[in-house]
Amino acid sequence: MQKIKNRNEIPEELKWDLTTIYKTDEDFYKDIENAKKIIDEMYSYKGKIFKTKNNLIKYLKNDENLSLLLNKILTYGIRKHDEDTTNSKYQEMYQVVENIYNVAGEKTSSFRPEFLKVDKKTINEYLKDKYLSKYKKIFDDLSRYKEHTLTDNEEEMLSKLALTFSASENTFSMLNDADIKFPTIIDEEGNEVELTNSNYSLFIHSTNRRVREDAFKKFHNKYASLKNTLASTFLGHVNTNIALSKIKKYTSVRESLLFIDKIPISVYDNLISTVKSRKDVINNYFSLIKEELNLEELHRYDIYADFTKESNNKYTVNEAKNIIFDALSVLGNDYKSKLSSAFDERWIDFMPNKGKRGGAYSSGGYGTNAFILTSFEGRYNDVSTLAHELGHSMHTTYSCENQDIIYSKYRIFVAEVASTTNELLLAKYMLKNSSSKEEKLSILQNLLNLYYATLLRQTMFCEFERDIYDLREKDIPVTHETLENKYFDLCKDYFGDNVVLDEELKYEWSRIPHFYYNFYVYKYATSLAASNYISSHILADKSYRDKYIKFLSSGSSLDPLDELKIVDVDLNDSNVINEAMDEFNSYIDEYRKLKNS
């Protein structure tokens, strides 16, 4: 077994360079003090921010300076912590970052309530000022909240109750991540292993069917033993959101939670109806799995089984870089130049080390590089993850270079589009250029898993969440049996006669943390559909990339749906979703053809 290295054993060229933010930790702490001074200066305007135009200008200039400082503070402090989470010095720095953000949020929280009290005529007069004119979109967006804003006393009461609103989610997280103890199973080698949330995903991918079945049934039976507690916890979350939406005068919870991104409910419903209508693709996909596993009956625990051998190909960091450069060269020289900067200026922390945070992410913004954390071990999936995170970093870089600081952060709704576009462009490049049949089959199975998990499964989650809220908003009682039966019926609807649905599947809903994310999961599916459309058009039309670069550069200067229209994506139209389902189907057929060649 290869020994994991300490941080100081990793070569410098494979670690990110945070000195581009602060040369020393002392510089970080100096900016903490500078940020506190700005926060105090802004707080001194409480109650009189909009009293005069000059007050407003001074406040907003301070806010821009604070945003710049806070981005540097967060980017440096959290990155240092994530290098080695066991380092007490950087554990303390992490807490310092959290604290300054909390202080900033508390002391600047009066801005929106004060804005909503000012008459429109005064705001329009202020917007004639050259400096303030750039805030028109922000002020227009804030104005939308006027009818959903309560009196000062009522808003203050809600603010004081804010921590209680997340109690159900926190309870679920503690139960799911810390307190649930799962039974043991016998693994492929005959060893007795305790199931965990982490290793369940490994066992459900096993090529040994007995292991898959044992893991699935024992895992979900544990949730079944807690069905009353988990149902009560989730329904507490649902009822809280319903109460808040009514208090804030929204017509429904969905309206309130899609409101921030200006996403109409029709986009949500269009996704569900379009995906469900494509039974041809769903049937084709499950038929392929049954063929590959040589099964007479396909069960839910068979769906994720690995039916291709992972390629033995291994890549160095430099080889990964060259492959990504070649795959993304279709995006033009400027894009490649920015990719070069990510490598040459050491934005990327490549290697695993003791104490390093797991997973992968891109993080940065105005005034810093868009740093990437990953744990590169040379597999194709590591190359794909790197391309994915570089998509986020390029999106951030283009937005920050082309937008004022106040519009430099793009919305979560479009955040996965650029990253998944890179992922798809890489996969298409590898399918075209790899000489290894084994590797191509492995990449195709990864693509099939991606489209199934993101388009089909997440859409089913969308429908479950929508239907449960609809029941409660009509004051129809919901029990654990209601939740189980609704989820089981949806599985029947989506899987059809292709999959045998074991009784344990009823309890799968209760382990999904995304149901506490408040109508979030549809964004995964719409982002993949958009990325599918974009990547196909980039490869088909060289001039299309200019639209894509413009999209990357738009930040939050446009509403999310208008950003996507730059690249001809209309999520109110079922065509974009259908094209993604068509592509999914084409990968199924391509897999069969290659396997039989």
> What is d(CA 194, CA 232) in angstroms, rounded to the nearest whole number?
27
Q: Are 495 and 501 in contact (CB under 8 A)?
A: yes
Q: Are 365 and 75 in contact (CB under 8 A)?
A: yes
**In what helix (H) or strand (E) does residue 544 lie, and over which residues does it extend?**
helix 544-552
pLDDT at position 1 is 42
Q: Is 401 a catalytic residue?
A: no
Gap between the terminal Cα atoms of the chain: 37
Is it the case that residue 452 has pLDDT exceeding 70?
yes
∠496-501-504 over CA atoms, to 5°?
150
DSSP strand pairing (192-194 vs 184-186): antiparallel
Taking CA atoms, 93 is separated from 22, 82, 100, 105, 155, in Å, by: 14, 11, 11, 19, 32
Domain ranges of the chain: 7-149
Mean pLDDT for 354-367 is 93
- Span 22-64, pLDDT tens digits: 999 999 999 999 999 999 999 999 999 999 999 999 999 999 9
> What is d(CA 98, CA 78) in angstroms, rounded to the nearest whole number?
9
- Span 60-117, pLDDT tens digits: 999 999 999 999 999 999 999 999 999 999 999 999 999 999 899 889 989 999 999 9
Instruction: Kindly state the tokens that stand for 532.
Output: 């599918």
Mean pLDDT for 483-508 is 96
Token pair 């009353």 is found at 228
Identify the CA nearest to 377 among candidates 447, 320, 449, 309: 320
Token pair 């017509």 is found at 251
Is it the case that residue 471 has pLDDT exceeding 80?
yes
- Span 545-581, pLDDT tens digits: 999 999 999 999 999 999 999 999 999 999 999 999 9
Q: Are 111 and 145 in contact (CB under 8 A)?
A: no
Q: Are 332 and 549 in contact (CB under 8 A)?
A: yes
Q: Which of 83, 389, 465, 504 is catalytic?
A: 389
Residue 131, CB half-sphere, CA atoms under 13 Å: how many?
10
Residues in the chain: 597
Is it the case that residue 198 has pLDDT exceeding 90?
no
DSSP strand pairing (361-363 vs 192-194): unpaired
Q: Buried b vs exposed e over 521-548: b needs ≥16 C-beta within 10 Å?
A: bbbbbbbbbbbbbbbbbbbeeeebbebb
pLDDT at position 162 is 81
Identify the CA nearest to 458 among candidates 524, 517, 513: 524
> What is d(CA 152, CA 136) in angstroms, rounded to the nearest whole number?
24
Q: Are 284 and 278 in contact (CB under 8 A)?
A: no
Is it the case that residue 531 has pLDDT exceeding 90?
yes
Torsion of CA 44, 49, 51, 52, to 10 degrees: 100
∠475-477-483 over CA atoms, to 5°?
120
∠292-297-302 over CA atoms, to 5°?
60
DSSP state of 465: H
Q: How sure is the predictor about 2, in pLDDT bands with cuts at 50, 70 and 90?
A: low
Mean pLDDT for 340-369 is 95
Class for the domain spanning 7-149: mainly alpha
Identify the CA nearest to 347 among candidates 17, 13, 71, 81: 17
CA 42 to chain centre: 32
Identify the CA nearest to 8 among candidates 88, 84, 93: 84
- Span 219-241, pLDDT tens digits: 999 999 999 999 999 999 999 99
Please give the share of the chain, as a percent, with pLDDT higher than 90: 90
Instruction: Kindly state the tokens that stand for 218.
Output: 């024992």
Instruction: Kindly state the tokens that stand for 137.
Output: 């979109």
Mean pLDDT for 357-385 is 94
Is it the case that residue 404 has pLDDT exceeding 60?
yes
> What is d(CA 541, CA 568) in angstroms, rounded to the nearest whole number?
13
Q: How sure is the predictor about 17, in pLDDT bands with cuts at 50, 70 and 90?
A: very high
Q: Are 375 and 383 in contact (CB under 8 A)?
A: no
Mean pLDDT for 137-144 is 96
In sequence order, the 6+-apart residues with CB closer than 8 A to the CB of 176 are: 197, 511, 513
